Amino acid sequence: MDRVQRNGGTAGIVTGLLLALLFAMIFMLGQDAMTPGDPAKVLSVVTQKWGLFAAVNFVGLLASSAAIPFVVGIATRLRDAAPTRARTVLYSTLIGLGAYALGSIMMWQGGHQVVEYAVKDQAGATTAWLALFAVNTGLSGVGNVFTGAGTLVAGWAIIGTGAMGVGVGWVGIVAGALGVLTLFAPTMPAVFLGSFALTIVWALWAGSELMRGKASK
């Protein structure tokens, strides 16, 4: 079996597990810490749950890193039958993963500075938090669109070429489409939750098929 695909499959399963952990940790953190509706309240929550907030961003960084060999494995599986789509999957998804990783590092390190600054100047820290969150929202948008597009194209190529099972292809299409849709519906929790949940399923399912080396009918 192609070692790149086998390693990519392992990375896909690891990515799915990390995303599942991240999903749970975000709920533990609470909605107040993830939305800037009341900046002073948000900063208070982040300060009180700083350890968990830092862990969320660290796990997000790990998931983005683990997804790189997974995407390479998917692109390798698709390369012979759909070379153009394979390149699109690889390049588009890597751009999105880079944006996610940058956002995680920025919120982790920048958030720590803002929390420390809040001790001296609460009003100034609130303004700084809003700026930090605005930049992170932009990076998240880039991540959602590019990884979503890459996942959608991967699903399309899988169905068209039979490189993997049809089921995993359709999961990729729906998960990718929801990821792109989050750019246009950022205030709809159902879209975000659906995209997140299906991305976990996609990573675990596609990863297991890469490890098996053949499509399951």
Residue 158 counted as domain residue: no
pTM to 2 decimal places: 0.91
Burial of 189 per CB tally in 10 Å (0-12, 13-18, 19+): exposed
Give the torsion sign (CA, 46, 27, 147, 1).
positive
pLDDT tens-place string over residues 164-180: 999 999 999 999 999 99
Residue 1 pLDDT grade (very low, low, confident, very high; cuts 50, 70, 90): low
Euclidean distance between CA atoms 43 and 113, whole angstroms: 12
Residue 119 counted as domain residue: yes
pLDDT in the model for residue 191? 85
Residue 152 counted as domain residue: no
Q: Which domain holds residue 208?
A: 3-141+203-212
Greater pLDDT, 77 or 118? 77
- Separation of first and last alpha carbons in the chain: 19
Residue 54 counted as domain residue: yes
- Helix or strand run (H / E) with residue 176: helix 166-181
Residue 21 counted as domain residue: yes
pLDDT tens-place string over residues 25-43: 988 887 655 666 677 778 8
Number of domains forming the structure of the chain: 1
pLDDT in the model for residue 208? 96
Residue 165 counted as domain residue: no
CB–CB of 56/24 below 8 Å? Answer: no
Residue 189 counted as domain residue: no
In order of 83, 89, 133, 141, 142, the CA distances from 146 in angstroms are 18, 9, 20, 9, 6
pLDDT tens-place string over residues 66-105: 999 999 999 999 999 999 999 999 999 999 999 999 999 9
Residue 135 counted as domain residue: yes
SS3 of the chain: helix, strand, coil, percent, to 5: 85, 0, 15
